[in-house]
Amino acid sequence: MSSLNLDDFTDLIERPDGGVRRDAEARRERQIVPPGSLGRLDDLGEWLAAAQSAVPVRPIERPRVVLFAGDHGVAELGVSARPAGGAGQLVREVLEGGRPVSVLARRLGVPVRIVDMALDCDPESLPEDVVRHRVRRGSGRIDIEDALTLEEAEAAFRAGVAVADEEADSGTDLVVLGDVSVGGTTAAGVLVAALCGVDASVVTGRGGLAIDDLAWMRKCAAIRDALRRARPVLGDQLQLLAAVGGADLAAMTGFLLQSAVRKLPVVLDGVVTAACALVGQRIAFRAPDWWLAAHDSGEPGQAKALDRMALEPLLTQGVTVGEGAGGLLALPLVQAAAALAAELPEKPKESEEPESPEASGASGVPTEQ
State the catalytic residues. Answer: 323
For 292, the enclosing helix (H) or strand (E) is strand 291-293
With contact defined as beta carbons under 8 Å apart, do 63 and 176 qualify? yes
With contact defined as beta carbons under 8 Å apart, do 128 and 83 qualify? no
Task: Work out whether strand 291-293 and strand 266-268 pair parallel, antiparallel, or are unpaired.
Answer: parallel
CA-closest candidate to residue 260, choices 295, 234, 285: 285
Going 203 to 174 to 48 to 13, the CA torsion angle's sign is: positive
DSSP one-letter code for 57: P
CA-closest candidate to residue 281, choices 199, 195, 198: 195
Distance separating alpha carbons of residues 75 and 341, to the nearest angstrom: 45
How many residues can be counted in the chain? 369
CA-closest candidate to residue 183, choices 212, 148, 208, 146: 208
With contact defined as beta carbons under 8 Å apart, do 122 and 105 qualify? no
| 83-86, long-range: CB < 8 A, 24+ apart | 83/182, 84/120, 84/182, 84/183, 85/120, 85/121, 85/138, 85/182, 86/182
The b-or-e profile of 265-303 (16+ CB within 10 A means b, else e) is bbbbbbbbbbbbbbbbbbbbeebbbbbbbbbbbbbbbbb
